[in-house]
A and B are shown apart, each in its own frame.
Chain A
Amino acid sequence: MAIVYQKSAGLTDKELHYCPGCNHGIIHKLVAEVMDELGILDTTIGVCPVGCSVFAYNYFNCDMQEAAHGRAPAVATGIKRTHPNSPVFTYQGDGDLASIGCAEITHAAMRGEKFTTIFVNNAIYGMTGGQMAPTTLIGQKATTCPLGRTKEQAGMPIRMAEMLSTLDGCVYAERVCVTDIPHLNKAKAAIKKAFQKQLAGEGFTFVEVLSTCPTNWGMTPLKAKEWLTDNMIPYYPLGCIKDIDAPKAEVK
């Protein structure tokens, strides 16, 4: 008898509070599996956001720290600089990272802080009840734009992975999704690569994971998966946006 798959050692036994079909659970376990496979569960320090994943510190089986809303990259900067040998990651949603915490993430990337950010983009504010986020798509309905987001009023949605990839301190940026097994495998590979580049001390690494929010999108989990594929991927294209090797010492 051989175990083909079981719950990752990187997750605690705590029951997840997420809604049925929420992709947070899948993304949690990919991060947990990567930490387990790299053998860094004992040394990793994670930083939690505010939002749906605010209780992530209960679920990851490594040291965790909660941060004020949007400030996870600032807290992670402090942790990484005082514990340079510990792998550090932040786990943030789009309300946290792309809205209130846009300055923190941008400057952390600019400084090339050597931690990994897992950015969960579900195009809406989940915990607060489905308000428009900076990542909400044009035409997408939310409680604060009941007729759909318009470009005239709210501008175009922000593509964080592309934006951060313009900064020299960011060495790796990739966008993935977890709607089916092939995409899930790619997402896990991207998260693993981000951690490996961090462990090699190369710089700031960023993985954006497109996620569904069945509850606030008002769909079943399966319908939400289809909606993500049909609407989000055309605007937020999947794939590696930036992957540069460690800066070489200058030849004089």
Chain B
Amino acid sequence: MTAKVTFNSDRCKGCELCVSVCPKHIVAIDQETINRKGYHPAHVVDISQCIACASCAKICPDSIITVEKF
């Protein structure tokens, strides 16, 4: 399965709730980046392992994650 996870990174507040619910442990905070709000945004480290369960998107309080599968 090929999955695509899109983050609206400028709106991320770096709360890590998405990191905590990912069953594959592939969501992480990007320490290299600072977004418009001044937070380190979340991103997917290894998209090849993504199962498109959308757990990250469901728990995101700011609804910034879109999950698609092909």
Contacts and interface: CB of A to CB of B under 8 A. Distances in A.
Interface residues of B, number: 29
Nearest to A178: B59
Contacts of B52: 4
20 contacts: A4-B57, A4-B69, A5-B57, A5-B66, A5-B67, A7-B64, A11-B63, A15-B11, A18-B61, A20-B39, A21-B16, A23-B61, A26-B59, A29-B63, A184-B58, A184-B59, A214-B15, A221-B17, A222-B16, A222-B20
A5 B20 contact: no
Interface in A15-50: 15-16, 18-26, 29
Contacts of B57: 4-6
Query: 6 tightest CB-CB pairs across the interface, nearest first?
Result: A25-B61, A21-B15, A20-B13, A5-B54, A20-B15, A5-B57
B62 interface: yes
B28 interface: no
Contacts of A225: 17, 20
A25 B69 contact: no
Contacts of B55: 181
Contacts of B65: 5
B15 to A, nearest CB: 3
A148 to B, nearest CB: 26
A78 B55 CA distance: 39
A16 B61 contact: yes
Interface residues of A, number: 30
Interface of A: 1-8, 11, 15-16, 18-26, 29, 178, 180-181, 184, 214, 220-222, 225
Nearest to B15: A21
A221 B67 CA distance: 23
Contact of B15 (A3, A15, A181, A221): A221
B45 to A, nearest CB: 18
B68 to A, nearest CB: 5
Nearest to A26: B61
Residue of B15, B53, B65 most packed against chain A (CB within 10 A): B15
Contacts of A184: 58-59
Contacts of A26: 59-61
Given A21-B16, A25-B61, A26-B59, A1 B66 contact: no
B21 interface: yes
A48 B67 CA distance: 30
